[in-house]
Amino acid sequence: MPLLVVGSVAFDALESPYGKVDRAVGGAATYFAVAASFFTHVNLVGIVGDDFTEVDAQIFHGRTINLDGLERAPGKTFFWAGRYSQNLNERVTLATDLNVFAEFKPLLPEKYRSSEYVFLANIAPALQCDVLHQVKKKPKLAAMDTMNYWIERTNAELRETLKHVDILMINDSETRELSNEHNLLRAAKHIFKMGPSILVVKRGEYGAMMVDHRGVFCVPAFPLEEPHDPTGAGDSFAGGFMGYLAGSKDKSDASLRRAMVYGSVLGSFAVEKFGLDRLRHLKRGEIHARARHFAKLTQFKL
Amino acid sequence: MPLLVVGSVAFDALESPYGKVDRAVGGAATYFAVAASFFTHVNLVGIVGDDFTEVDAQIFHGRTINLDGLERAPGKTFFWAGRYSQNLNERVTLATDLNVFAEFKPLLPEKYRSSEYVFLANIAPALQCDVLHQVKKKPKLAAMDTMNYWIERTNAELRETLKHVDILMINDSETRELSNEHNLLRAAKHIFKMGPSILVVKRGEYGAMMVDHRGVFCVPAFPLEEPHDPTGAGDSFAGGFMGYLAGSKDKSDASLRRAMVYGSVLGSFAVEKFGLDRLRHLKRGEIHARARHFAKLTQFKL
């Protein structure tokens, strides 16, 4: 089942104790699409500048990713530069140049409009809402990301968008800020009143937690000795999660749990190397092997 | 199989947004012994002052806890006062009066000396080592806790004690400080060179992680809407963990995993009410029901 994603396609300049790159293809929609493409067809909506070359676009080729919705505009592609601390647990943003992204008005190609699975990556809530309205029928599953910036500056628009999605996928601090609740269970109850019926909290090195009316499901982060670059981990998680659900066309509790695991698997691969280097060469067999490893990591018999 | 524990028995003054108590029985050995007594016989070694009354001692009564090793000395019982922040995620120590604990020289009653399971709660490493030497044969399983204070001030003695234990059970920041490694997998490898073959990292609201030569096992924290008081959570975890292992006389990987779950179960009950109020009235049936709930929290089928 095709999975629609709208979000940023970008160039990143990254620095961590493990190295430095000046211009790597990145952006939330890129990580998401690549991760999801292991499970399903992806319809990508985004914008790049005329500096985005055929070589840059190769990350999407040979995968089930449709680029009809990737607009090319005169000017430069969105650029983000960041530096990670010694332990990768803190990052400083050195530059955010929106460039062509500043004027982005997502327009869905006709054949995207029947998408039944939708992911709204972290962009302005008004744009997220606009994309949802361009989809003809209510999607079987719509999920979204957001960030503190939108919670603080465009709260009304964010509240409006939240009314129309099933799954909100954000991190701990965003969950607390949005709900004004420190306790994540109580935060989830607040968020359910805003629209979503499922909350997925991404907790970095502590894994991820899903809360819905049936209860809570937790997945740890995959223990890695040498993560190199956390950029895109959350978007890769979202891609694995939504990709699995769209591919399986099953939104039962058992399927949502597997989606949490596949999300964690993709997130864990993403951080192993710089930028998209690890996902670029990832094989399906490695994904399934790591999913089995997640079972070993968490399972017990009473 | 009797389980020896040496550690503090104390009076605590506690303050959290949920309430305030001026004088509650507490101390690491107390929480540990009560938690472990649901699974096995406990031999407690500690010291109290002459202000520790029969009413105070009732927390131990009607349980399989032997108090022959609980010394009574002239003076006051160890006293700790602390205040928790709004979200219970930070605490300020308001008072630490060692009192009779300052001169504590643990002396094992003869029948404790054949203990095959030993837990050294967080006390001076030299005392921990001394207790281990009083045990006749090498225990089947010896575990210990420690804290930043000992890592910084009595590092040589701590290193000596570590040579003689199988399991080190500490929190994230202690793990990082002891090993001088941020990454917990690399930290575990450093710690294995110091003596222990199993590292259990207590991560508060994120659960617990066990690392040994076979790999990693993770348990989340039980999601609670209204934890009241985190005091004693780590010691209750240790009590559930070691109690289960001593009771089952099985240190296989499967058994260690169950121990992690029962540790988490006891830790989760401990924080539900003030001080020992929840553990005091806890029933075995509730423990097993919550252990099954942990399975629901983490298990999935690929």
A254: nearest CB among B209, B217, B301? B301
Whether residue A268 contacts residue A221, with contact meaning beta carbons closer than 8 Å, is answered with: yes
- Residues of A near B (Cβ–Cβ under 8 Å) read 86-87, 89, 182-186, 203, 206-207, 209, 211, 215-220, 223-227, 254, 257-258, 260-261, 288, 291-292, 295-302
Q: Which long-range contacts (CB under 8 A, 24 or more apart) does B133-141 make?
A: B134/B106, B134/B107, B134/B108, B135/B4, B135/B108, B139/B4, B139/B115, B140/B1, B140/B116, B140/B249, B140/B251, B141/B116, B141/B117, B141/B166, B141/B167, B141/B242, B141/B245, B141/B246, B141/B251
B218: nearest CB among A225, A297, A302? A297
Q: How much is the ipTM here? A: 0.94
> Which helix H or strand E contains A187, and what residues bound it?
helix A184-194
Number of neighbouring beta carbons within 10 Å of residue A230 = 19
Question: Is A68 strand, coil or helix?
Answer: strand
Tokens of B199: 């590292």
**Domain range list for chain B:** 3-298
Q: How far is the alpha carbon of B228 from chain A, nearest alpha carbon, in Å?
A: 12
pLDDT at B90: 85
pLDDT at A86: 83
The DSSP bridge pattern shows strands A208-212 and A215-219 to be antiparallel
Q: d(Cα B237, Cα B78) in Å, to the nearest integer?
A: 22
Q: Is the pLDDT of residue A174 over 90?
A: yes
Helix axes A253-270, A28-36, angle to 10 degrees: 120
Substitution target from B264, B298, B301 for chain A, most A beta carbons within 10 A: B298
CATH code, A3-298: 3.40.1190.20
Query: Residue B5 half-sphere exposure, CB side, CA atoms within 13 Å?
Result: 34
With CA atoms as reference, the chain A residue closest to B85 would be A182
Chain A residues whose CB is inside 8 A of the B89 CB are: 182
A186: nearest CB among B206, B225, B261? B225
Chain B residues whose CB is inside 8 A of the A296 CB are: 215
| A193-214 confidence digits (pLDDT tens) | 999 999 999 999 999 999 999 9
| Residue range A66-70: mean pLDDT, rounded | 97
Tell me the pTM: 0.96
DSSP readout, A90-122? Answer: -EEEEEEE-GGGGG------GGGGG-SEEEE-S
With CA atoms as reference, the chain A residue closest to B228 would be A183
Amino acid identity, residue B225? Answer: E
pLDDT at A3: 98
pLDDT at A287: 98
> Which helix H or strand E contains A171, and what residues bound it?
strand A167-171
Chain A residues whose CB is inside 8 A of the B291 CB are: 302
- Residues of B near A (Cβ–Cβ under 8 Å) read 86-87, 89, 182-186, 203, 206-207, 209, 211, 215-220, 223-227, 254, 257-258, 260-261, 288, 291-292, 295-302
pLDDT at B86: 83
Per-residue pLDDT tens, chain B, 302 aa: give them: 899 999 999 999 999 988 899 999 999 999 999 999 999 999 999 999 999 999 999 999 999 999 999 999 999 999 999 999 888 888 899 999 999 999 999 999 999 999 999 999 999 999 999 999 999 999 999 999 999 999 999 999 999 999 999 999 999 999 999 999 999 999 999 999 999 999 999 999 999 999 999 999 999 999 999 999 999 999 999 999 999 999 999 999 999 999 999 999 999 999 999 999 999 999 999 999 999 999 999 999 99
| Residue range A82-99: mean pLDDT, rounded | 90
